[in-house]
Structure 1
């Protein structure tokens, strides 16, 4: 502990999720209520040396503020221990401010709570007011302040106390740029004095400027911890990947990570395969490189001896494809493991249900699959080819093997897709929903 300002060990923060206020009241009164558990933090471990600064990054809901508040003493962990070798103060928007009191009264109250004498408070008060730039507003109730004004007051109080450990939680995300610049200059001065900092911010430029290392949180767990340059490189790539996902894909990604049976490390923005987390992990010594990408294909198995992996992280657990032949499967994701491409197969377009498993791309016949439109129209059939229950389906997908009896019959199309270079129509034929290759229709409109 001599070299550390902070030690965080096995921190878990668990919340009870009540279905309604009645259940919450019963629980407070000691009655047994069935509730769901939500893990806001799950097994957080790290050290911070004296004079060192660490940035905490992660998407919204990853547990950044929960962790910083627990370290600052503004909340309690469910399990685990935190040791701080020295004094600490949290710098966050309105942290510890009483809205009914004036700015000046809040200065006195917060300083008293931190153990300062009235003499010391009287000495610091003018400096705090001057730094805050609140002027005449200092004697107005804080509840009338804007978020920027609250941030200025909270920051000015905390920064004037010169604790050994600063915990900065989005404190500089509001307010004018001139004050932000002044605050950052003050933090720079204290950093040179050997003070330690925990910097929680969405501003990567600020984190890169002040932090020696980065802790990357995802769904309440440590995704990575290491030198700022190395972690920020991957986090920036992940941020770009995250921005491209739609709401459903983001939810699916977070569910997948949250429900992982074994927590393993991600080293790339597109990786969804975790490897065991180790303290002082060296990025350059990772044994595997795994990358996940969104894609869209339809595929068939080439043979019945192909291995299907239920869990891509368990190469010794698989089944053979002999019962999956002559069928079509959807591919929406691919994984690249040490330059080997794997497809995740499903019997349905949605990967919520009917997932088959992971298969090496080289063991499949596949074509790119794209939606064109959902326009509705009518075409006629030439009487050639066949109708399938899935586009580009195999032998087991055939609904009508001989379309000659439907020659010149109308086919009511409700969806159009492109598979490879061919256009396929989905619609109603003889009261049955089927797929027909557009080459065997005429008088159609796209």
Structure 2
């Protein structure tokens, strides 16, 4: 899968926490004896519209979404959560002359169980069983160390993380010490990235609309399950973590097999670390991940399946700077290094880029934000200006644009004809 699937570029990483806050899932468990058996119902409804004006202009989103969740406590150290989401997108009925029928069928409607888990404790350990989010990354808007999460990439990396991430069916065990945290993870039935169909606005491979591509998911057997372990420790003010994760890659690789095309998920091993450190009012963060077993597209006609295998090192370092309680500036530098590079892969041995985010609050309701992301090798870019207005505590409106430019063989430049303006309206309840 191209380098673009390493990045999860969006401007609101905190949105995922809003949904947990909605259900009060971090409340004091000591109060659960009185609350056992009680339940809380909450969620949100929103409508989003996007109009793509570059290239062949068209409506690219007219989506209504409803997400509902139920949560409660079962005892002193046990609780549960169940949530589901349903979408209907009118753009894929209205624009039937623009989108191929497979794209329309794939994106008109959607339903997903978001979370369905039970928590309980035993001794010094806490356990979570069921469909859940597992977030190991530390960076703002990037998926480097966040190796567990699957993603819905049919809108590229434009949605908020809360909508972008796809939970995993998992068994997780955690042990919390005074300065150390241990985590063990097993995923018996993995979820994978949803990249849509050829002809969709942000399909990651350069294939004509309607091209038949077989999506070959791994068979359900023990050897195809995922597992990992992670340890975190606070040392002299440094929040450090290290992990090892073996899995079927959430990102699909495009295989050429006997003249046909197949999406497969390679068996990979990933070892990484994360760090963060408060430097006065600033926060320094970094991540590095080594991956073994991944394959990449190549133009070499002698390459088996049209692929070239190479270990990679992905790393990122960034700083978050708040100013006067109204400004926020975030700068990040990221890169991928190919250990076994081949010129016919269409990439350099080291692929680097940067992100720049600046936001400004105007009172308690209005916030302006600008996100700029650029590949430093090919000088392509993504520019995302946005205005958010908190109409009431329950209502929020958003107006923004997504702009792409640069070389058309690059990560963002390939979407030069996908520039769009969008509006969103959301109500929490």
TM-score, with structure 2 as normaliser = 0.24
TM-score normalised by L of structure 1:
0.23
Higher RCO (CA 8 Å, separation ≥ 6 residues): 2
Bigger CA radius of gyration? 1
Task: Decide which structure has greater strand share.
Answer: 2
Higher-helix-fraction structure: 1
